[in-house]
Every structure is written in C-alpha cells, then in structure tokens.
Structure 1
Amino acid sequence: MTNSPAFSAIGSMPGTDVRETVRVVRDLFDGNGIPFLPELPARGPGADMIGRSAARLAGLGVDLQPSGWRLTDANGLDARRAQAFLREDLDELAEAFDGYEGPLKVQWSGPWTLAASVSLPRGERVLTDRGATRDLRESLSEGVRSALATVRRLVPGAQLILQWDEPSLPAVLAGALPTASGYGRVRPVDQSVVVDGLSALVASIEDAAAQVLHCCAPGVPVPLLRRVHGLDLAVDTSLVKPRQWDGVAELVESGRRLWAGAVPADGSVTRPEQISDSLVRTWRSVGLTGADLRTTVLTPACGLAGSSPEAVRALFKVLAQAAERLGEESESLSGS
C-alpha cells in the first residue's frame, strides 16, 4: 500500500458474466484500489440498482409492472429472479475473495431514490406517501443489514463500505418528479425530512459498515449532506459548481472522505495527468491540504454498464495512474 489516494469504481459494469467480472475487479483493484461487488444490469430486470434493492426489502413484496417496480402483497417472479442474481453474485464474490483482507464496497439504492422509483399498489410513487416512505426506509435498513451480514460471513476479512446510490435526490428536493399521470409533479420533500430520514438510516447501519452517499446528478445538495453525520460523499466532480467546492472543502475538513468522480466514464480522458492536475488546482483554490487530498478516493464519474470490457480495463488503468500521481502531488501541496 502506497501513500497515494485510493481508487475505486461506482459499481455497475458491462456484460452478463458475473464470475469473470468479479475476477476482473479482484485483479485490477489491488494495492490502493478498493474492490467492489459489481452490478451487471445487462442481465435484465432485477440485476439493476432499483430491482436489486427493491427485491431485498424486508417484509415488503415487490413485482415488476410495465410502469416499473411496484409494492405488492408478495414478491413476484422478477423479484425472485433479482434475489437469485444477488445470491449468484455473492457466491462468486466469496470464491474470488477467499482469504481477502481489506476494504470491500457494496452498493445499494438509497431510500429517497428507491421511494421515487418504486410505486404504491395504486400506482403513485412511494414518495407521495410519507408513512409508506418511512416504512420503505425501515424495510431497506433491515434488508441491507441482512445483506451486509451475509457479505461479512462470506468474506470475513473485509472492511465493508456501503455506498448509497441517490441519483434522484436533487429531483426529490426540487419537486421535479412527474406524477403517475404525467400531468403534475410530486411535491418536493422538505430538506429537514430528508436529513432526518438519511440520519436514521445511517445510524441503523453504522456498526455494520462505513457509508458513502453517491449522487451523479446535477445539483448535489452538499450543505444538506454535511448535516448527515457519518456519511462520506461521492460525486461527479464535473457537476460540482465552483461555489459548491467551498461546501465540499468544509465536508472534507470535518473528517469526511470525498469520493471524487473525476474520470469521465466515456473514456475521453486517457492521460492521468489531466485528472490529477485538474483536481489539484481545485484543491488549491479552496485551501485544502495535501493530507486532505490523500484521504480522497478517485473514481469514474458514474457507472460503467454502457462501456465495453476493453474500455473499462483502459479506464481502470488510467484511474490507478491518476491516483498515484495525486499521491505525488499531495506531497508538493503539503509543502506549498
């Protein structure tokens, strides 16, 4: 392990061969890399972020309708398929990471994105019903705790990191989500309600895993997320506006870790210095130190399900090189 910042990935990967993908992750993310349990949405419904998370809700049934996932009395065929996908993924993880000791990340849909994506039996989003949203969050907490316990049993040496995926959070806060009819908008959720909900969820998991919230949508509510203690932040840095970086700096200085999505997922950046130099300039502009930089985790800007396997390998190589360069840059930043 060097003194460079760590590097990882968001979670989704191309293809349908989970055994091969898990081994690729294991082989490429050594040293400072943080390996992860990959998601392969190309396998079909239930292998995606929402389907995987909905199917693991404790005590709530779901089924896939033409309009999307919906709460039901009991799990339907697609939900059972989603559960089978996850069992297969965990079996492959256990085999590939036998004897592994170190950080290991798993991803789950966050409560606000899940409530915005899953419907009530009558067709409206769960988000429209405050009581149902609370029940879903509590069910999600129980289901995730169970899943984390399984991962810990299969890979006992793992230091678990849980990534909450919240791409819909800005839209939830802004009231930008359409109603089921398409003629209206779901009422915005008050910031204090979002903070309380996330805080309760993070507290329920804090003894099982470190936690990071990932949002790759424009308008990441950095000041709001700073109010949720025990939660690191993962963002697409290209979407962080200049005025938001001061808030990011305050978050880092408070002891949180920034997962900087500074590597475009489309493969358009091929030189590691393009990534490291840009991040260092930003770091200097907000007065952060080299020690702060070394706590950063460098990642792609978003998931990689739409990339080719060859492009993913090339991107991961650039990612590792950029992390190494950031380690060197952090020394000069500390001395400046």
Structure 2
Amino acid sequence: MRVTAAGSLPGDDFRGALGAVTEVLPDILPLPELPGRGVGSQMVGRTLGLIDGLGFDLQPAGWRLTTSSGSGADHRRARSQWRFDLDDAEELLQGFGGVLKVAVAGPWTLAASVERPTGDRLLADHGARREMAQALAHGVGSLFADLSRRLPETTLRLQVDEPLVVSVAEAQVPTASGFSRHRRVHAPELSGALSPLIAIDRDAILHCCADGAWLPLARSAGFASASLDLTLFETGRLRDVVGQWLADDLSMVLGVVDTARHEVQSADDLVTRALGFLRPLGLDPEVLRDRVVLGTACGLAGWSLPDAMAQLEQLRRAGELIDEQLER
C-alpha cells in the first residue's frame, strides 16, 4: 500500500529534509514544510507567500491584510523562501517521475487566521474572504505552472490544509474581542471557495485534522481525495461515512500515525490500526490498495528529527506489511 505524510517536519534544512523524505516516501513525496524556520514558513505565512496582488504584514496578533498592495518584510521573506525552496527542489528532483505533493492552507483557514486592515478576521467580510480565495487559487495555479516547468517528469498533487473549516462551518471562530463568534458560513459558500482549487488539480486532497463531519463538504466541493486523522473516524457512524466515500470511487489518505502522541509507533501497531478500521468496511482488497494511502494524521513539526524520520520509516514498512496482510 502506498504511503505519504502530511508534509511538515522539524528543523530548518530544506535540502536535507527533501533528500530524506525522497528516500523513505517515494510513492507520494510531500514537499517538506519547515515551520521551525520562522513565521513565513509556518502554514499561514507560507501560503501567503504564494499570493501576489495582495499585501500582508505581521502584527502582534498575527498576519494582517494591508490597505495597499505593499507587503511587509515578513511577507516578502515568505515569498523569497518559496523561490529558494523551488530552486532546491528543481535541483534535487531532476528526473523524479513520481508524485510530488504540495500542501497549502485552504481559503477558510486563511480567512479565519488573517486580519482585515480595520481589525478582526477576514471571515467577517464577505468581499474580503472571497478576494482571498480568488488570490489563493491564482497563486497556487502559478506555483503549479512553475513546478511543471521545472519538473516536467513529475506528477503534481495538491493538498489543501483546512484545520479551521469545521470551526468556520459551525460558528466557532472567536471574534477579536473573544466575547463572540463569527457567523456560520453555509455549505454552498464553503464549497464554492474550495472548488477553484480543483481546477488546478482534479485529484486534489482536502486535509483536515479537526473533529467534525467535513467529508460531505469535501465531496460537494469536488475533491477526489481526503486526508483524515483516523483517531477521529473510528466510531461506527463516521466509519460508515468513510466506507461510503471509498465505495463511491473516491480516495483516502488514512492518517494511521497519531501525530499528537509525539512518539514512534511501530509498523505492526500501524498495520493493526489500519486493518482494524478497513476490514469491517467490507471492501475488496484491490479497492483498498487502489484508493487508500497510509499517512500521518497531521504534521511532524513538533517531533524531534530522529523520531520523525524513524516514524516515516515505520510507516513505509507498514505499507509493505498491509499488502501482505490483505492477501490473506
């Protein structure tokens, strides 16, 4: 069974991280994200670094949209970091004929994280959040065009990280004062902001580590694949939702590595968890091999580097063992 990881890793050595994951995760290679390099390499800042035409600066409360297209120094550094990383990836991945997975924060996580020039989150402003979603789609499209030119033999895969989409949908995002919550965003608008990303990669993956029923949103937005934290889907009702997803010819990255534990889980343990979840679904083993990828629930940035690499090796081994188990 193929394996991958969410993407974030400890440390600040991009070239070293890319070389290491290329060896252990060649099936679906995640482009490393290294939050330890600073705010411009963390999930929101890194994604803002792809956006052109809108300016952002860093305030004590976090990232803020500026009143003009002028960017602050931190946003400019985030943009520069992408150029350095892409140059390194082009050099190190020449001739790579596999799948390179690139993760970006989704429009709803950005809208719930970035402030308006006048204060509070972009989420409070219909026009601002729509503009952000459009700018994100344009930025990701430009990134994929650049990567396609640099790495013509590589298949690109988009991972859209939306850890806050459930909070947005359920009106759980606090306002700036902390005394209230932003209004709920309804399903048609939620899926409408995500759908343009499918035009960039029709096999894009929606990744969410949050507890909640977000798979119907992924389906309505047009995602062909979803990446989930297995811990949150092991109850009977949610297990059935996953089974129906796979039965409908959609794909799944099954987050068997519990990244919240911060300890290496053995290949045998991962196989036991995965098969304990998959076998009761009653699907043909060939369907599972074709549509399920083993992965991590979320990122490994909070781990030590030796433990993170040891965990990815155990994950790779688990993929091999599951293939043997499914034959029985």
Q: Deviations over 1:24-83 (max 9, x none)?
A: 1122223xx311211111111101110011122231111111111111111110000101
1:276-291 map, 5 Å = 276-291=271-286
What residue is the counterpart of 1:82 in the other structure?
78
Give the superposition deviation at 1:157: 0.8
What residue is the counterpart of 1:66 in the other structure?
60
Whole-Å separation in 2 of the counterparts to 1:22 and 1:269: 20
Give RMSD over aligned pairs.
1.5
1:226-245 map, 5 Å = 226-240=219-233, 241-245=235-239
**TM-score, normalising length from structure 1?**
0.92
Of the candidates 241, 245, 249, which is equivalent to residue 251 of structure 1? 245
Report the residue type matching 2:294 in the other structure.
L
Report the residue type matching 2:107 in the other structure.
P
**TM-score, normalising length from structure 2?**
0.94
Whole-Å separation in 2 of the counterparts to 1:224 and 1:328: 34
Report the residue type matching 2:42 in the other structure.
D
Report the residue type matching 2:4 in the other structure.
S
Whole-Å separation in 2 of the counterparts to 1:271 and 1:54: 36
Q: Where does the alignment leave 5 or more consecutive residues of structure 1 unmatched?
A: none
Whole-Å separation in 2 of the counterparts to 1:24 and 1:220: 35
Could you say what secondary structure the match of 1:46 adopts?
helix
Q: Where does the alignment leave 5 or more consecutive residues of structure 2 unmatched?
A: none
Report the residue type matching 2:244 in the other structure.
E
What residue is the counterpart of 1:197 in the other structure?
193
Could you say what secondary structure the match of 2:327 adopts?
helix
Give the superposition deviation at 1:282: 1.9
Give the superposition deviation at 1:269: 5.1
Could you say what secondary structure the match of 1:167 adopts?
coil
Are the equivalent residues in 2 in contact too, given 1:211–1:230 (CA < 8 A)? yes
Tell me if 1:26 matches 2:22: yes
Could you say what secondary structure the match of 1:63 adopts?
strand
Whole-Å separation in 2 of the counterparts to 1:324 and 1:317: 11
1:147-296 map, 5 Å = 147-199=143-195, 201-206=196-201, 210-240=203-233, 241-265=235-259, 266-268=261-263, 270-294=265-289, 295-296=291-292
Could you say what secondary structure the match of 2:211 adopts?
coil
Whole-Å separation in 2 of the counterparts to 1:184 and 1:60: 28
Are the equivalent residues in 2 in contact too, given 1:283–1:289 (CA < 8 A)? no
Could you say what secondary structure the match of 1:7 adopts?
coil
What residue is the counterpart of 1:57 in the other structure?
51
Give the superposition deviation at 1:181: 1.3
Whole-Å separation in 2 of the counterparts to 1:178 and 1:128: 11
Report the residue type matching 2:269 in the other structure.
Q
1:11-22 map, 5 Å = 11-22=7-18
Could you say what secondary structure the match of 1:35 adopts?
strand
Between the aligned residues of both structures, percent identity stands at 39
Are the equivalent residues in 2 in contact too, given 1:26–1:96 (CA < 8 A)? no
Are the equivalent residues in 2 in contact too, given 1:56–1:83 (CA < 8 A)? yes
Could you say what secondary structure the match of 2:205 adopts?
strand
How many residues get paired? 323
